[in-house]
């Protein structure tokens, strides 16, 4: 992996943190995964999925007891288990990110091929 | 990768992010999970431009906020800010409910409630009170404005990410607070504590189906087994040397009369009976499906200085209200600007409603004498008849969800029901008198001695309350507030002024119009009673010789009053520990009284081992109602089955099922009285013994099928459980169900209707706080079932609940340890 690829990953994760923290919407995965398009498709998918760790890690902002209590309550409200309640957003974020980054990768490959 | 595949993948990602957008609510940073981050108390520095000087708020280890300001305006601003920071959603949804505008948040499902609030006149009364306070008591009104500024300052600090959970769930934003919302809440609470109107409609409906003696047996003017020893004002009812007898009226004659008849109401009985449907319609129109706070009873008592160990008066109070999560109360100390008051603030209303200063303390219970009345009006189109003339109905328009509604008024008040040429109007003191009670509260908060307390009592207008007050040397309970007087001419032509009625009054004749109020000095009261104590758990406030008879007295049965009376009478040299012990009493006085009659009826009846075992449990039961006992279960289901096959069955078959429990306050004492004096009463199908036996068989069969064959497993905690509901009615945001002690007649009250179901309907009404005070010794303790925060994930949501369940107390004065300090800067 070259430096540019590494840079793309860092920028992508940085964008993810920024957008999830300040906006917190699933569609922000569409933006934060743009730099991952620089990678090969397989890597883009893997790192896109890994982007799910970003929102997951942000749960650590909260005291564990309050988080656990919240997940139980919100789970009851949503008719889900507390575990699913915690995982739903990060997992979906990961899938959106993986789909988008693989698509961006394909588009980038096409553009590069066309230009050259 | 082909280009179209790449494009499809991006489109799929966009589609998924859109389709899954509801999951944005589960985002860790902007969704509902933000509640996990709130609800912690940390040191803060807050800027509030409206402040004139810095304010400090310290939150102690029990969740009480101690607010210190240098002037009263800043004090109430800071109180508003703090309360909003902990309870904004509760305050706002409560205010919308009270203002009759809940539909703006939740849509059509709240329309009936909104229309009912406007019919009752809550927003109109609040508007009238706001204008009056602004012009006549600008200082008090400015406190309401200061409080609003504090609330709004907190609202301004919010962004969509950190909105309280309730706003996110309803997809609404907070609206700006104003004094009007404070007064809406005050009027709403007042209505929920006001007796008269609904009681008169219900008793008239009962009278329309049964003869007088049957009505009296079920619904006597005074509850059975109460006498002048048990009333708030001890004695025969004379007040300030004045009584019925002094007016030449015999109490025994007056209380033997049929007050439902035309001579008393101005409406012939036959007319009233023919208008049953109108009474039913009136009750339905003002019923509020979202009713938040029901007052089923409350306790308070005072001990005089010469009856206490400390040599200074003692006070105890526990108001019984609907137990919500979060609680309606928030504990707070307000210091500065001439105030140093500690206690409980009612959310949305500035100041402390129940609490103490360094040298005074006070508490509240509801007396249940009529301060609202129902009037039968004669109508013709847009006119109503009054004293032989046809006068135009006035009107008030309001809009809900784009549709305009109109409330019509006679001189008595709003028409809450109409059918052809008849209507029912609601007379309520709150329509005629501005809400000066807020001034009374400020004066209580600012009191330093007994004279100050009495001065505050003079301003208490609505709702009538038993105001228990103690200072360093004096103690009293006053049945305080405005009681409208009605002139009555008795069948023997004697004239008397009475409070309330047993049925709707004639609104057309002019003869039954309220004629002033009971003067303050003639309100039922016990000032430094010579027997050393007075108590006010909703029993009658004055006995039969009271000069202004409470014809509209809809008292509680007095079971809690009996326990309190016997306890205090046997505890001279009382201490605060005694006060706490009495507040935690879970003995059902009526059950102990009823038990011998039930056992006698069941003697030599049962043959099955299970029935014999249940009977033995009942025999051995000591009347207390702890979760692990079987006796309360056997007793309660026996009473419920007995009521079902007798009184409820009769009411239901007469189209009166809406009068079922819990609207029959005297159900148990009625049955005891019948067992003792009229065992062949038609109310028990002609035979008390047969009815009890049938009920017992049904009970055992039912409990066997629901709780299993093992009688020793039929414990009270399995069937009697507490649930603290959230304002949104969502189970996930509620607390419970959890097994609970007590029953509807214990001092430590835990109300439920006598119905046959396992479990019983959850207990939702009980002691909303407990407070004991000894100002002379500087000792104040309290507890409530909740915490300061409305954040369900926070420790502070229910930090005092376990102590409340276990009858523990926290200090409410003196030194404390802080968990956080907020500095509010101008």
Q: What is the DSSP string of B132-153?
A: HHHHH-HHHHHHHHHHHHHHHH
User: Hey, is the C-beta of B170 within 8 angstroms of any chain A C-beta?
Assistant: no
For A70, the closest of B12, B16, B35 (CB atoms) is B35
User: Hey, is the C-beta of B6 within 8 angstroms of any chain A C-beta?
Assistant: yes
Q: Judge contact between B706 and B640, C-beta under 8 A.
A: no
Task: Report the distance separating Cα B632 and Cα B630, nearest Å.
Answer: 6
For B794, the closest of A21, A33, A66 (CB atoms) is A66
Cβ contact (<8 Å) for B12 and A69? no
Q: Judge contact between B675 and B695, C-beta under 8 A.
A: no
Residue B654 in any domain: the answer is: yes
Q: What pLDDT, on a 0 to 100 scale, did the predictor assign at position B145?
A: 98
Residue A2 three-state SS: coil
For A103, the closest of B10, B39, B40 (CB atoms) is B10
Residue B609 in any domain: the answer is: yes
DSSP designation for B760:
P
Instruction: Show residues of chain A in contact with B11, CB under 8 Å.
Output: 103
Q: Are strands B422-428 and B372-380 parallel, antiparallel or unpaired?
A: antiparallel
- Residue B171's contacts (CB-CB under 8 Å, 6 or more residues apart) are none
For B29, the closest of A58, A63, A65 (CB atoms) is A58
How many structural domains compose chain B? 1
Mutate to test the interface with B, among A99, A108, A113, A115 (most CBs of B within 10 A): A99
In 10 A of CB B384, how many CB atoms? 27
Name the region of B440 (left: φ>0; alpha: ψ -120 to 50; beta: rest). alpha
B374, B341, B551, B334: which is closest to B447 by C-alpha?
A: B341
Mutate to test the interface with B, among A49, A103, A114, A115 (most CBs of B within 10 A): A103
Instruction: Show residues of chain A in contact with B2, CB under 8 Å.
Output: 106
Tell me the residues of chain B between 783 and 812 that have a Cβ less than 8 Å away from chain A. Answer: 792-795
Instruction: Show residues of chain A in contact with B5, CB under 8 Å.
Output: 106
**What count of CB pairs under 8 Å joins A to B?**
150
Containing domain of residue B670, as a range? 589-622+630-714
B784, B799, B760: which is closest to B324 by C-alpha?
A: B784
Task: Report the distance separating Cα B406 and Cα B398, nearest Å.
Answer: 6
Instruction: Show residues of chain A in contact with B41, CB under 8 Å.
Output: none
Q: Are strands B484-489 and B475-480 parallel, antiparallel or unpaired?
A: unpaired
Beta-ladder partners of B44: B822
Residue B692 in any domain: the answer is: yes
Residue A48 three-state SS: helix
By residue count, chain B amounts to: 826
Cβ contact (<8 Å) for A110 and B3? yes
Q: Give the residues of chain B that fall short of pLDDT 50.
A: 661-662
DSSP, residue by residue, B266-320: SS-HHHHHHTHHHHHHHHHHT--TT------EEEEEEE-GGGBTTSS-EEEEEEE
In 10 A of CB A116, how many CB atoms? 5
Residue B649 in any domain: the answer is: yes
Instruction: Show residues of chain A in contact with B7, CB under 8 Å.
Output: 103, 107
Cβ contact (<8 Å) for A95 and B7? no
Cis ω before B326 (30° cut-off from 0)? yes
Q: Quick one: chain B helix, strand, coil %, rounded to 5?
A: 40, 20, 40
Cβ contact (<8 Å) for A27 and B14? yes
| CA distance from start to end of chain A | 22
Instruction: Show residues of chain B in contact with A61, CB under 8 Å.
Output: 28-29, 37
Q: What pLDDT, on a 0 to 100 scale, did the predictor assign at position B527?
A: 97
Q: What pLDDT, on a 0 to 100 scale, did the predictor assign at position B305?
A: 96
Q: Which helix H or strand E contains B677, and what residues bound it? A: helix B667-677
Cβ contact (<8 Å) for B26 and A78? yes
Q: Judge contact between B716 and B627, C-beta under 8 A.
A: yes
Residue B364 in any domain: the answer is: no
Residue B665 in any domain: the answer is: yes
Name the region of B777 (left: φ>0; alpha: ψ -120 to 50; beta: rest). alpha
Beta-ladder partners of B818: B60
Task: Report the distance separating Cα B376 and Cα B385, nearest Å.
Answer: 11
Residue B315 in any domain: the answer is: no
Cβ contact (<8 Å) for A106 and B39? no
Instruction: Show residues of chain B in contact with A18, CB under 8 Å.
Output: none
By residue count, chain A amounts to: 116
Task: Report the distance separating Cα A55 and Cα B27, nearest Å.
Answer: 7
DSSP designation for B174:
P
Cβ contact (<8 Å) for A106 and B31? no
Residue B505 CA, distance from chain mean position: 26
Cis ω before B759 (30° cut-off from 0)? yes
Q: Judge contact between B231 and B541, C-beta under 8 A.
A: yes
User: Hey, is the C-beta of B569 within 8 angstroms of any chain A C-beta?
Assistant: no
For B27, the closest of A55, A71, A96 (CB atoms) is A55
Mutate to test the interface with A, among B32, B793, B796, B799 (most CBs of A within 10 A): B793
For residue B785, which phi and psi values (nearest 5 degrees)?
A: -80, 70
Instruction: Show residues of chain B in contact with A105, CB under 8 Å.
Output: 1, 6
CB burial of residue B572 (10 Å; 0-12, 13-18, 19+): middle
User: Hey, is the C-beta of B401 within 8 angstroms of any chain A C-beta?
Assistant: no
For residue B433, which phi and psi values (nearest 5 degrees)?
A: -125, 130
Cβ contact (<8 Å) for B37 and A26? no
In 10 A of CB A79, how many CB atoms? 9
Structure tokens at B253: 């004659």
Task: Report the distance separating Cα B489 and Cα B491, nearest Å.
Answer: 7
Q: Judge contact between B65 and B55, C-beta under 8 A.
A: no
For A24, the closest of B1, B30, B169 (CB atoms) is B30
Supply the ipTM of this predicted assembly.
0.94
B808, B316, B304: which is closest to B560 by C-alpha?
A: B316
Instruction: Show residues of chain B in contact with A62, CB under 8 Å.
Output: 28, 33, 36-37
Q: What pLDDT, on a 0 to 100 scale, did the predictor assign at position B292?
A: 55
Beta-ladder partners of B344: B331, B354
| pLDDT tens, per residue, chain A with 116 residues | 688 889 999 999 999 999 999 888 999 999 999 999 999 999 999 999 999 999 999 998 888 888 888 898 888 888 889 899 999 999 999 999 999 999 999 999 888 888 87
Residue B354 in any domain: the answer is: no
Cβ contact (<8 Å) for A66 and B36? yes
Q: Judge contact between B316 and B298, C-beta under 8 A.
A: no
Alpha helix locations (H) across B511-655? 559-569, 576-583, 589-602, 609-620, 631-643, 649-653
Q: What pLDDT, on a 0 to 100 scale, did the predictor assign at position A114?
A: 86
For residue A40, the chain B residue with the least C-alpha distance is B1
Task: Report the distance separating Cα B770 and Cα B801, nearest Å.
Answer: 12
Name the region of B655 (left: φ>0; alpha: ψ -120 to 50; beta: rest). left
For residue A60, the chain B residue with the least C-alpha distance is B28
Q: Which helix H or strand E contains B75, and what residues bound it? A: helix B72-98
Cβ contact (<8 Å) for B14 and A30? yes
- Residue B276's contacts (CB-CB under 8 Å, 6 or more residues apart) are B205, B208, B655
Cβ contact (<8 Å) for B7 and A103? yes
């Amino acid at each position: 992996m070259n430096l540019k690829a590494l840079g793309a990953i860092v920028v992508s994760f940085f964008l993810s943190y920024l957008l999830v923290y300040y906006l917190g919407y699933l569609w922000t995965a569409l933006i934060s995964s743009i730099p991952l398009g620089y990678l090969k498709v397989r890597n883009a998918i893997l790192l896109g999925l890994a982007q799910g760790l970003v929102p997951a890690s942000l749960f650590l902002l909260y005291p564990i007891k309050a988080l656990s209590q919240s997940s139980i309550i919100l789970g009851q409200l949503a008719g889900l288990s507390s575990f699913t309640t915690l995982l739903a957003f990060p997992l979906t974020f990961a899938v959106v990110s993986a789909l988008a980054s693989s698509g961006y990768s394909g588009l980038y490959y096409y553009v590069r091929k066309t230009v050259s | 990768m082909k280009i179209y595949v790449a494009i499809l993948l991006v489109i799929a990602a966009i589609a998924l992010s859109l389709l899954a957008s509801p999951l944005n609510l589960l985002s860790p940073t902007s969704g509902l999970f933000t509640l996990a981050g709130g609800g912690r108390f940390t040191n803060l520095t807050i800027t509030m431009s409206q402040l004139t000087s810095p304010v400090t708020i310290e939150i102690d280890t029990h969740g009480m906020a101690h607010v210190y300001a240098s002037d009263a305006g800043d004090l109430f601003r800071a109180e508003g800010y703090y309360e909003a920071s902990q309870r904004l959603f509760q305050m706002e949804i409560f205010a919308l409910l009270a203002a009759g505008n809940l539909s703006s948040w939740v849509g059509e499902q709240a329309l009936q409630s909104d229309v009912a609030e406007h019919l009752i006149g809550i927003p109109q009364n609040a508007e009238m009170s706001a204008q009056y306070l602004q012009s006549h008591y600008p200082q008090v009104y400015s406190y309401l404005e200061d409080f609003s500024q504090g609330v709004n300052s907190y609202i301004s600090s919010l962004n969509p990410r950190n909105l309280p959970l309730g706003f996110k769930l309803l997809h609404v934003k907070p609206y700006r607070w104003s004094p009007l919302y404070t007064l809406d809440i005050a009027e709403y609470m007042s209505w929920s504590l006001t007796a008269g109107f609904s009681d008169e409609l219900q008793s008239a409906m009962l009278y329309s189906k049964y003869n007088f003696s049957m009505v009296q047996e079920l619904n006597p003017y005074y509850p059975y087994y109460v006498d002048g020893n048990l009333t708030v004002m001890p004695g025969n009812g004379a007040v300030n040397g004045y009584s019925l007898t002094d007016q030449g009226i015999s109490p025994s004659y007056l209380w033997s009369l049929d007050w439902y008849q035309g001579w008393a109401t101005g409406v012939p009985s036959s007319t009233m009976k023919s208008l049953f449907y109108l009474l039913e319609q009136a009750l339905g129109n003002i019923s509020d499906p979202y009713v938040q706070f029901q007052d089923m009873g409350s306790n308070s008592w005072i001990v005089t200085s010469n009856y206490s160990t400390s040599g200074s008066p003692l006070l105890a109070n526990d108001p019984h209200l609907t137990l919500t999560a979060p609680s309606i109360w928030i504990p707070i100390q307000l210091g500065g600007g001439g105030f140093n008051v500690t206690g409980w603030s009612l959310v949305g209303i500035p100041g402390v409603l129940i609490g103490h200063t360094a040298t005074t303390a006070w508490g509240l219970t509801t007396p249940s004498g009529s301060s609202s009345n129902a009037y039968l009006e004669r109508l013709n189109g847009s006119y109503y008849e009054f004293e032989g003339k046809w006068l135009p109905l006035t009107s008030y328009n309001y809009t809900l969800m784009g549709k305009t509604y109109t409330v019509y008024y006679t001189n008595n008040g709003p028409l809450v029901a109409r059918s052809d040429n008849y209507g029912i109007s609601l007379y309520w003191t709150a329509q005629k008198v501005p809400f000066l009670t807020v001034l009374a509260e400020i004066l209580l908060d600012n009191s330093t001695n007994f004279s100050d307390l009495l001065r505050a009592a003079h301003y208490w207008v609505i709702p009538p309350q038993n105001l228990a007050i103690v200072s360093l040397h004096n103690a009293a309970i006053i049945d305080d507030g405005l009681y409208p007087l009605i002139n009555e001419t008795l069948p023997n032509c004697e004239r008397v002024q009475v409070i309330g009625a047993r049925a709707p009054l004639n609104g057309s004749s002019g003869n039954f119009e309220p004629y002033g109020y009971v003067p303050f000095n003639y309100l039922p009261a016990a000032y430094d009673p010579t027997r050393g104590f007075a108590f006010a758990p909703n029993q009658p406030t004055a006995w039969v010789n009271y000069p202004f008879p409470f014809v509209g007295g809809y008292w509680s049965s007095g079971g809690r009053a009996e326990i309190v009376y016997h306890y205090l009478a046997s505890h001279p040299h009382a201490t605060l520990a005694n006060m706490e012990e009495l507040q935690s009493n879970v003995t059902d006085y009526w059950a102990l009284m009823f038990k011998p009659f039930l056992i006698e009826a069941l003697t030599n009846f049962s043959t099955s081992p299970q029935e014999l075992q249940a009977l033995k449990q009942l025999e051995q039961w000591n009347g207390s109602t702890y979760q692990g006992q079987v006796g309360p279960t056997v007793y309660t289901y026996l009473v419920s089955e007995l009521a079902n096959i007798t009184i409820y069955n009769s009411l239901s078959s007469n189209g009166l099922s809406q009068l079922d429990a819990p609207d029959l306050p005297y159900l148990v004492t009625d049955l005891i009285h019948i067992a003792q004096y009229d065992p062949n009463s038609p109310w028990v199908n002609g035979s008390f013994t047969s009815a009890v036996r049938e009920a017992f068989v049904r009970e055992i069969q039912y409990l066997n099928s629901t709780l299993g064959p093992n009688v020793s497993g039929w414990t009270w905690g399995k069937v009697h459980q507490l649930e603290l509901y959230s304002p949104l009615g969502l189970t996930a945001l509620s607390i419970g169900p959890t097994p609970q002690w007590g029953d509807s007649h214990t001092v430590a009250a835990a109300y439920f209707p006598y119905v046959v179901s396992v479990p019983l309907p959850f207990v939702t009404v009980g002691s909303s706080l407990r407070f004991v005070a000894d100002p002379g010794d500087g000792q104040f303790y309290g507890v409530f079932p909740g915490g300061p925060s409305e954040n369900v994930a926070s420790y502070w949501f229910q930090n005092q609940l376990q102590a409340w369940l276990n009858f523990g107390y926290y200090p409410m004065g003196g030194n404390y340890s802080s968990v956080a300090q907020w500095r509010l800067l101008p």
